Amino acid sequence: MPKAHFDITYFCSNHKYHNIFSISHQKTVTLDYLLYNQSLLIGQKIDSRFPPARINRKRSSETLIPSGMHCSISQGQNKLSFQLTIEEGKFLVDLARQAVTEYLENGKVLQVPEGVSSKLMEPCGVFVTLNSFHKGAKMLRGCIGLPYPTTPLTQAVIDAALSAATRDPRFPPVTLEELDQIIFEVSVLTPPERVEVEKPTDYPSKIKVGQDGLIVEKSYCKGLLLPQVPVELNWGTEEFLCQCSMKAGLPPDSWLLKDTKIYRFSSVIAQEITPNGYVKLIDMRENRS
């Protein structure tokens, strides 16, 4: 009996749960990258027999950045190459919402607006998260992104927003009628960097819960968790490493193996408080365990 496949070209992320897909390296899987949640799938031909994600409907824990303050970011460890202001964060969130609205109303892909500052055209990793909002509670509705700075930020936001709304394999496509009940969130990522240690048992001392996101990589298996996950679920650093290993379809203690690679990154999040409402900035680098 032939095996069914589907193509995924973006990163599928669920920062509300820590065990999405469990895909190991098999002949039926051909990938350039395979990362989970904040899961991610990048590449081609994932065997459709793997189960869909489950969702933990906990609300996110957040650090608010008052209006007028900057998230100062420059190249280097857990840093981006520019400062993200609240106005720029609102622009990115509005752009994500406009992209989805235009596509659902007219079937057209929004183009990058003219006159966008060169700063917002710099290549950046980004995730777009959609959360249904009902009676003050948020539930994940879709999340897709690109973790590496390979695409200009505004274009990456448009691409990720459309994919989160229409291509997240865990959910049916978002409908136009839903948009007034959906919160848009844009996470701008710092470039992932390799965590260097003398021995694997040193990894926990190199990771800051609530500040760092993780990528665990071993052979063809990769797993990713965004910085907010261990904060929401009250994990310590070792549990964070174990959960990210399982995200990659590996045993939980795989981070202790010498051929396993660990990468870390952080993020600045622009998020609507209510659908189409006020936008706030959340700087994950301000969190500490």
Is the pLDDT at 3 greater than 50? The verdict is no
pLDDT given at position 68: 34
Which candidate, 86, 175, 181, places its Cα nearest to that of 133? 181
Residues 6+ apart with CB under 8 A from 200: 255, 256, 257, 258, 260
Is the pLDDT at 37 greater than 70? The verdict is no
Is the pLDDT at 5 greater than 70? The verdict is no
Cα–Cα distance, 28 to 78 (Å, whole number): 35
Give Cα separations from 135 to 43, 131, 191 (angstroms).
38, 13, 36
Residues 6+ apart with CB under 8 A from 122: 81, 82, 149, 152, 153
Query: Residues in the chain, how many?
Result: 289
47 or 136: which leads in pLDDT? 136
**DSSP codes, the chain:** -PPPEE---SEE--TT-S--------TT-EEEEE--SS--EEEE-EETTSPPPP---PPPP---B-TT-EE---SBTTB-SSPEEHHHHHHHHHHHHHHHHHHHHHS-PPPPPTT--GGGGSB-EEEEEEEEEETTEEEEEEEEEE-SS-SBHHHHHHHHHHHHHHT-TTSPPPPGGGGGGEEEEEEEEPPPEEPP-SSGGGHHHH--TTT-EEEEEETTEEEEE-THHHHHTT--HHHHHHHHHHHTTS-GGGGGSTT-EEEEE-EEEEEESSTT--EEEEEGGG---
Domain ranges within the chain, ordered by starting residue:
1-289
81 or 12: which leads in pLDDT? 81
Tens of pLDDT, residues 222-277: 888 888 878 878 999 999 999 999 989 999 999 999 999 999 999 999 999 999 99
Weakest-pLDDT range from 32-36, 136-140, 152-156, 276-280: 32-36
HSE at residue 149, side-chain half, CA atoms within 13 A, is 18
pLDDT given at position 1: 37
pLDDT given at position 136: 85
The two three-digit tokens of residue 219, written as one number: 């052979």
Average pLDDT over residues 140-145: 90
242 or 69: which leads in pLDDT? 242
Which residue has tokens 């395979």? 34
Residue 279: φ, ψ to 5°: -105, 135
Q: Please give the share of the chain, as a percent, with pLDDT higher than 90.
A: 58
Q: Name beta bridge partners: 270.
A: 186, 281
Average pLDDT over residues 22-41: 30
Average pLDDT over residues 99-115: 96
pLDDT given at position 217: 96
pLDDT range class, residue 76, cuts 50, 70, 90: very low
Is the pLDDT at 100 greater than 80? The verdict is yes
pLDDT given at position 195: 97
pLDDT range class, residue 79, cuts 50, 70, 90: low
pLDDT range class, residue 27, cuts 50, 70, 90: very low
Pick the CATH number of 1-289 from 3.50.50.60, 3.90.1150.10, 3.30.700.20, 3.40.50.920: 3.30.700.20
Which candidate, 36, 32, 62, 60, places its Cα nearest to that of 45? 32
What is the pLDDT of the chain when averaged over all its residues?
76
Is the pLDDT at 54 greater than 80? The verdict is no
Is the pLDDT at 45 greater than 80? The verdict is no
Weakest-pLDDT range from 108-112, 138-142, 229-233, 272-276: 229-233
HSE at residue 146, side-chain half, CA atoms within 13 A, is 22
pLDDT given at position 64: 23
